[in-house]
Every structure is written in C-alpha cells, then in structure tokens.
C-alpha cells in the first residue's frame, strides 16, 4: 500500500516548530525534525513513524515545509498549498490518502485527487457543522456519537483509535515525579465546565504541587492584559488560583517530559464532546506513566477499567479523587502502571496499522 498521510499544525505549536527547524535546509530535514518531536504521534500510522519506503508524510498547512518540497521540484514560488499537496500525492503515486486535516482539505480537494489514489480517508473527531467530507470514502475517529452524526449525513463513518507512541516508554519509566497534579490543555470561553474543575483543583496548591500548562485563547489573553482590565471582560479572565499555577503551553517531547514528572494528570472533555471520551490526553497521560483523573463518560475499551475509580462527576469529586490518590502513593503507582500497560498492549501501533489496513480492505 502506497500510503500518504497528511496532518496539520496548531497555531500555538508554530513557535516551537520554528525553533526545531531553524537549522534545516530542505524538506527531509524539516519533516524529520517535526516527526522526531512526536507532536501528534498518537495519530501517525506505523509506516510513517518507522520510515516505510511506501509511506509519505507531510503537514499540508506548513508553508515552510511545503515550499522546500515545491522549490526542489521546480514549482512556481507562488504555488498554493493545495496545489503543492496535490503534486506531492501525484509524485508519490499514492494509493491511499489519509488526511488528518479535512477542515482545510475537504471534499473539494478530494475531487481533485489524481487517478492513482484508490481510497481517501479523513480523520475528524469534533462536531463539524457546515463541513463537507462526503467525497471521502470514509471518515474515521474514536467517538461513536460523532460517527453516528456523520452517518446521519449519508457519509461512511468507521471507528479508528489513536495509538500508543513507543517513545512514551522512555518517559513512563520515570520514578521521580515531583508534580502532584498536572493539567495540559486549552482555556477559552468554550471550556466553561472545564474552568470550574480547574479552579477547584488549583485551590489545592497550598497542599500540593499543582501545575497547569494552558493554551489560553486570544480573548483570555486580552482580558488579562492591562488594556483588557479597562474593558468588560471579567468573565474571560482566569480565577486567581488558576493564574497562580499556570505556565506556558507545552507540546511534543516537552509534553511527554512534563507528564513523566507528574503523579496525576487531570483530564477533562471540552463542553462539546458529549458523553464520548478518548481524547489524545488519555493516551499521552497513561502512556507516559501517570495516573489519570478524568470526567465521567464512555471511554475506549480497556481504558475505562483502569480509570473507573478515578472518574469524577463534578468539581468536588475531582478534588476528592485527587486527594484520595495522593494519600495512597502505592495504590497510585500501581494504578498508573496498569494504565500504561493497557495503553501499550491494547493500543499499540501494530494494532492501529492492522485496523487501518482492514478498513481500507473493506472500502
């Protein structure tokens, strides 16, 4: 199978990527610097991470990366990113196109794919009102309710899970974990329920080492600026306890490293997630050897059993679950170990690749 996997970048990750690729001079070097950082690695298929001869990977929205490739191929300097991506697919003689960025490259793009492409698959794990993925042969994610929504629109939708990144094993081995509670994620007006939980947990800072690495929205940053304090934006400012434990957002191996220093990782779905659970943080937290305290919901196979006693329904329960765990360090350690084993054994890269190839065979 000649596989082409396309991904996309978070805006907040771009400064880190610029530092990682500062000394790169071509497409191969720049791409390898990105892949080595493991940002998004839970979604990258085994042949991509292992450098398979028939696998090609790129970030189709990375202007610098894509310009390296297009210039080497003699394409015009003003070529659009979509044109570069199509040229890459044709040059690779792709048979299966797997796209992690369908909001940017939707059905209009799929209809332009060269004839060598036999199957096209999109990953999308969030409600996408107004989006058109209908030209893809299948849309995949690990949230059943979202898949049902795609089917209701007449699209073929199939279950596919993120996978354990083998590099996490290095970080899971850490036994020195000075951070009692770690949270990593976004903070914005779309996270009202999450903000209540974070505020309650941040209040534990007088007893424990609590660390939040928050990717705050522009509105939150504005609200907390000197100018913002002159505007009616109080509801968008973080409470004092949250600000006291907040640090800059972290990504890639920095995220793995931070989790390796944490006893507990606090997880919480965004308000739009419904009852389904299984976001990337589940795989990252457990995979890097931390215990996870998370909100109630429908978790993937295996994960639900190992975190059953660590689920909370509200802010008060979240605090209680954390306090109980930290007062029983040996139980915490064993729970974290079981979680890491479940993710490594049930959600390995080999299984993800087997599931993907089986899906392609059914299409």
pLDDT value at position 47? 98
pLDDT value at residue 273: 57
| Residue in this structure with the two tokens 């199978």, named with its chain if needed | 1
Give the separation between CA 152 and CA 175, rounded to whole angstroms: 47
- The DSSP letter of residue 138 is E
* Domains contained in the chain, CATH given: 3-163+348-362 (3.40.50), 168-346 (3.40.50.2000)
Contact 141, 261 (CB under 8 A): no
Cβ atoms of 60 and 94 within 8 Å: the answer is no
Q: Residue 237: what pLDDT?
A: 78
Q: Is 160 left (phi over 0), alpha (psi -120 to 50) or beta?
A: beta
Interior angle at CA 174, CA 169 and CA 178, nearest 5: 140
Name the helix (H) or strand (E) containing 117.
none
Average pLDDT of each block of 10 consecutive residues along the chain (363 residues)? 97 96 98 98 98 97 98 97 98 98 98 98 92 97 94 97 98 97 84 85 97 84 68 74 94 98 90 79 97 94 91 96 97 96 97 98 97
pLDDT at 229: 73
pLDDT given at position 228: 65
Determine the pLDDT at residue 275: 86
Q: For residue 34, what are the contacts with CB-CB under 8 A and spacing of at least 6?
A: 17, 20, 21, 59, 62, 65
pLDDT at 270: 64
| E-strand stretches of the chain | 3-7, 55-59, 96-99, 119-123, 138-141, 157-159, 179-187, 210-216, 246-247, 262-266, 291-295, 311-312
* pLDDT digit string, tens, across residues 157-168: 999 999 999 999
| SS3 call for 54 | coil
pLDDT at res. 17:
98
pTM of the model: 0.94
At residue 323, the pLDDT reads 98
Asked whether the CA dihedral 39, 45, 48, 49 is positive or negative, the reply is positive
CB 285 within 8 A of CB 263: no
């Amino acid at each position: 199978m000649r596989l082409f996997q396309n991904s996309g970048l978070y805006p907040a990750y771009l400064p880190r990527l610029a530092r990682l690729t500062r000394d790169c001079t071509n497409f191969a070097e720049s791409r390898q610097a990105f892949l080595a950082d493991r940002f998004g690695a839970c979604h990258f298929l085994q042949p991509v991470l292992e450098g398979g001869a028939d696998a090609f990977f790129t970030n189709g929205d990375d202007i610098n990366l894509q310009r390296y490739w297009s210039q080497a191929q003699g394409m015009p300097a003003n070529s659009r990113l979509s044109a570069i991506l199509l040229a890459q697919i044709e040059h690779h003689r792709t048979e299966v196109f797997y796209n992690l960025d369908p909001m940017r490259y939707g059905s209009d793009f799929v209809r332009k794919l060269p004839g060598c492409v036999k199957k096209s698959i999109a990953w999308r794990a969030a409600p996408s009102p107004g989006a058109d993925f209908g030209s893809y042969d299948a849309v995949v994610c690990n949230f059943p309710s979202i898949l049902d929504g795609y089917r209701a629109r007449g699209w073929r939708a199939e279950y596919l899970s993120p996978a354990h990144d083998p590099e996490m094993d290095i970080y899971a081995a850490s036994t020195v974990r000075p951070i009692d509670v770690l949270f990593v994620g976004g903070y914005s007006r779309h996270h009202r329920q999450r903000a209540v939980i974070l505020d309650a947990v941040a209040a534990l800072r007088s007893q424990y080492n609590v660390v939040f690495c928050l990717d705050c929205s522009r509105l939150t940053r504005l609200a907390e600026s000197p100018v913002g304090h002159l505007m009616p934006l109080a509801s968008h400012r973080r409470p004092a306890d949250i600000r006291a434990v907040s640090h800059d957002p972290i990504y890639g191996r920095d995220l793995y490293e931070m989790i390796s220093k944490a006893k507990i990782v606090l997880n919480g779905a965004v308000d739009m997630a419904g009852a389904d659970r299984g976001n990337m943080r589940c795989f990252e937290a457990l995979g890097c050897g931390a215990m996870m305290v998370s909100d109630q919901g429908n978790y993937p196979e295996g994960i639900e059993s190992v975190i059953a006693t660590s689920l909370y329904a509200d802010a008060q329960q979240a605090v209680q679950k954390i306090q109980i765990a930290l007062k029983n360090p040996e139980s915490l350690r064993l729970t974290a170990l079981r979680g890491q084993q479940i993710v490594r054994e049930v959600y390995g890269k080999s299984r993800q690749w087997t599931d993907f190839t089986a899906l392609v065979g059914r299409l």
